[in-house]
Chains A and B, each alone.
Chain A
Amino acid sequence: MLAGGVSLILVGMMISNFQMMIIGLTFIAFISLNGWIVGQSELEITRLVPHSNVYKGDLIEVSLTITNKSYRRTQLLEIFDNVPHEMKIRRGINQIRINLGPGQSTKLNYMLRCPLRGHFSIGPISVRHRNAFGLFVNESKIEDLCDITVFPQVRDVEDAMLRADVPKMYTGATTLRTPGPGMEFYSLREYLSTDPIRSINWKAFARTGEMMVNQKTRDAVTDVFVILDTREVSRIGTVLKNPLEMGASAAASLASHFLKRKDSVAMVTYGSRMDFLPPDTGDKQQYKVLSRLASVSPSGSMPLQAVTNALSPRISRGSPVFIISSLEGDGTTLPAIRNLSGNGHEVIILSPSSVDLERLVSRIPRMAYEVLKLERQNRLTAVSGYGAKVVDWMPDVELSQALVQSRG
Chain B
Amino acid sequence: MELSEKKGEKTETLHIPVLRKKWQILALQITSTVSLLLLLKRMSDIYGPCSDDFILNNNANTWCPSYEHTRGLMWMENANGLLIPDFLLGVGQTGTMSMIGPLVLCLFATFAIERFWSSSQELQNRIKQVAAALLGAWVILPFLFSWIFATFSNGFHFPWNSNDSMNHIGELFHPLGLLGELVFLGIVFAPVLVGLIGIWGLSKRSISWVVGYYIIVIAFHAVLTFEPIVSEVDVGLRALPTQIGEGSMFGGLVSPLASSLLGVAILMLLFMESGTAAISHMEYAASLPEESKRDPEYIRQFNNVVNSHLIQLLVVVSLVGVTTALALAFDDLMISIVGILEGTQWTGQVKESLELQMTYGKVISAGLFIIAVAGLRFVVPWQIISGYVESGISRLRSN
Among B265, B288, B292, which residue has the most Cβ atoms of chain A within 10 A?
Answer: B265
**B interface residues, how many (CB within 8 angstroms):** 73
Instruction: Given A23-B264, A132-B313, verify A72-B363 contact (CB < 8 Å).
Output: no
CB-defined contacts of A103 to chain B, threshold 8 Å: 391, 394
Cα distance A89–B291 in the bound complex, in angstroms: 12
Q: Answer yes or no: A37 CB below 8 A from chain B CBs.
A: yes
Instruction: Tell me which of A33, A34, A98 has the highest count of chain B C-beta atoms within 10 A of its own C-beta.
Output: A33
Min CB distance, B55 to chain A, in Å? 22
> Which of chain A's residues have a CB closer than 8 A to the CB of B352?
none
Selected from A21, A38, A75, the residue in CB contact (under 8 A) with B359 is A21
- How near does chain B come to A109, taking the closest CB pair, in angstroms? 8
Q: Please give me the 7 A-B residue pairs with the lowest Cβ-Cβ distance, nearest first.
A: A26-B265, A32-B374, A17-B222, A102-B391, A72-B387, A71-B387, A99-B304
Query: Does B346 interact with chain A (Cβ within 8 Å)?
Result: no
**Residue-wise interface mask of B (246-286) relative to A, using a CB-CB cutoff of 8 A (1 in contact, 0 not):** 00000000000110011011101100010011001000100
| Complex A-B: 11 CB contacts under 8 Å | A9-B363, A11-B219, A18-B240, A18-B244, A22-B258, A22-B262, A25-B265, A29-B320, A33-B319, A71-B388, A96-B297
A103-B320 Cα distance, complex, nearest whole Å: 30
A binding-site residues for B, Cβ under 8 Å: 4, 8-9, 11-13, 15-23, 25-30, 32-38, 40, 70-73, 75-76, 89, 91-93, 96-103, 106-109, 132-134
Considering only residues 356-399 of chain B, those with a C-beta below 8 Å from chain A are 359-360, 362-363, 366-367, 370-371, 373-374, 376-377, 380, 382-384, 386-388, 390-391, 394
On whether the beta carbons of A15 and B226 are closer than 8 Å, the reply is yes
Supplied contacts A32-B373, A101-B394, 19 more A-B pairs, CB within 8 Å: A12-B363, A17-B226, A17-B240, A19-B46, A21-B362, A22-B264, A23-B218, A25-B367, A29-B323, A30-B320, A33-B319, A33-B320, A33-B323, A38-B377, A93-B289, A103-B391, A133-B312, A133-B313, A133-B316
Q: Out of B242, B316, B371, B373, which one reaches A16, CB within 8 Å? A: B242
Knowing A26-B320, A73-B308, the reply to whether A18 touches B291 (Cβ < 8 A) is: no
Name the distance in Å between A98's Cβ and chain B's nearest Cβ. 5
A23 to B394 CA separation, bound complex (whole angstroms): 40
- Secondary structure call for the B interface: helix
Interface contact tally, CB-CB below 8 A: 184
Q: How far is the CB of B371 from chain A (nearest CB, A)?
A: 8
- Which of A8, A13, A40, A96 has the most CB atoms of chain B within a 10 A radius of its CB? A96
Bound-complex Cα distance A384 to B135 (A)? 81
Chain A residues within 8 Å of B320, by CB:
26, 29-30, 33
Q: Which of B143-187 contact A (CB under 8 A)?
A: none
Are A36's CB and B291's CB within 8 A?
A: no
Q: Check B312–A19 contact: CB distance below 8 A.
A: no
